[in-house]
Amino acid sequence: MGRSGNALTRRALLAGTPLAAVRGAGSFFRIGKVKRRQCLLDPAGKPVFSLAMNHIDSAALRLTAAWQEEFGGDLRRWLRGVRRDLEAWGFNAVGWVQEYVVINDQHHRHSRSFTPEEYGWLEFPYFHLLPFIESHGWEIETRLPKVDSPGFAEWCDYVARDQCPRFRDDPSLIGYFYSDVPAWVQAGPAGAWRGTLFDARELESETGRRELLRLAGHYYRTLHAAIRRHDPNHLIFGDRLNANTRLPEEVVKAALPYVDVLSFQCFSPPAQIHDTLGRWAGFSNKPVLLADAAHWSNAGPEGWPPKQDRAHDPALYAKTLEGLLDLPYCVGYHLCGAYLKNNARRYGFRDAHNRVEPYVEAMAKANRRAAARFAREAG
C-alpha cells in the first residue's frame, strides 16, 4: 500500500486527468479475497495488509527548537518527513491521526483530524474519522445523544455532507471510522455522569436484548445512509469497538449490514488478541481489523494517563503481527502510535526534539517481516 500506484492516481487527478480515466473497478480501496485470505485491495487491485500508525500530531515539536530549525514552521514540510519515516519504518498507511493532547480532571482532549489538504501533502494511504458522535468510552465532557432521534440523524447528515464530498474522489482514502470504543453499555469512571448509550441491566431480558439490537441497528443504519448519500466510493470501518470490555453481540450483529470491516481496539497479550479477533470474525463472517493496540516494555503503574514515559515492546509487537497473519480474515494492525511523544501519551517513535527512539528499528523489522510474509501468502 505504498506510494506507487496510489500516488500515481493522485498525481493524475491533480494534473487534471478526467476522473473516468483513473476510476474504473480498481480506483478505490476495496475488500477482496485472495487465495484463502480476505484482505484489502489497493486501487490497482494489489492485496495489502494494513500496517498503519495512529496518532500523528506536530504540536509537541513546538515545545522545542526542532519545529523551526528542522521544518521552518512548515506543516507541509513536516508531513512529507512523516511520510518518509513511515515508509522507512515499514508502515503502509496512516490510521486515526488524532492524538491525546490534554488529559486532566477537566479535559480529555484529542487534536483535530487532518484536513483533505493535509492528507494530500502527506501523499500516503489513510483512514479518516467522521465525528458523528462523542461516545468514546474515555470521554468526560459531552452528553450522549439519543441515537434514534431525528435530531441525531440531522446532525449525522450534516457531518457527512460537510466532509464526505471533499474525500469522495480521493483514491488515497482507504475508509471511514466513527467513534473510538463507544460506550454502549459500559463507561469509564470519569464519564459515569453521562451514562451509556444503553442500560446494561436491560440485557438480562430477551426484550432488552431485542431493544439493543433495534437501537444499535438504527444507529449504524443512520450513519451508513448519511455517508452513502455523499460518498459511494470508500469503505466503512465503523466504530473501533472495545474488545477488552463488555461488548454485547447485539451491537456487533447490528453493525454487520452497514460496515465493510469490523474494527476493534484490543490491549491484550498477543495470544488473546488472536483469539478475540478470531472469535468475532467467526461470529460475524466479516473481515476484522485490529484498529488500535500496543504493548510496552515498561508500562509502569496501570491506568490512564501513563504515570511515566513508556517504550514499545518490539518482540510483543512482532508476535501480535504473526498471530494476526494467522487469521485469514484479518486485514491489518493499526499501532496505537504515536508518531511523536508528547506530555499526555508519553511515548512515540520520535521525541519532542524529533529524535528517533531506540526501539524503532526493531519495530520496523517486524513490519517488514509481516509485509514479506503477507506478500508470499497473498501474492
The C-alpha atoms of residue 297 and residue 307 are separated, in whole angstroms, by 14
Q: How many residues does the chain have?
A: 379
Please list the pLDDT of the chain residue by residue as tens digits (379 residues).
444 444 444 443 333 333 233 334 449 999 999 999 999 999 999 999 999 999 999 999 998 999 999 999 999 999 999 999 999 999 999 999 998 878 788 887 888 999 999 999 999 999 999 999 988 877 788 899 999 999 999 999 999 999 999 999 999 999 999 999 999 998 877 778 889 999 999 999 999 999 999 999 999 999 999 999 999 999 999 999 999 999 999 999 999 999 999 999 999 999 999 999 999 999 999 999 999 999 999 877 666 777 788 999 999 999 999 999 999 999 999 999 899 998 888 999 999 999 999 999 999 999 999 999 999 999 7
How do 173-180 and 126-129 pair as beta strands?
Answer: parallel
Burial class (CB in 10 A: 0-12, 13-18, 19+), 303: exposed
The C-alpha atoms of residue 300 and residue 356 are separated, in whole angstroms, by 22
Residue 135 near residue 95 (C-beta atoms within 8 A) = no
Report DSSP letters for 144-185, one per residue.
PP-TTSHHHHHHHHHHHHHHHHHHTT-TTEEEEEEEESB-SS
CATH entry, 3-378, from 2.60.410.10, 3.20.20.80, 3.40.930.10, 3.40.640.10: 3.20.20.80
38 has which bridge partners? 33
Tell me if the bond preceding 314 is cis, omega within 30° of 0.
no
Q: pTM of the predicted model, to two decimals?
A: 0.91
SS3 of 9-26: the string is HHHHHHCCCCHHHHCCCC
The C-alpha atoms of residue 26 and residue 18 are separated, in whole angstroms, by 15
Whose cell is 441525531? That residue is 152
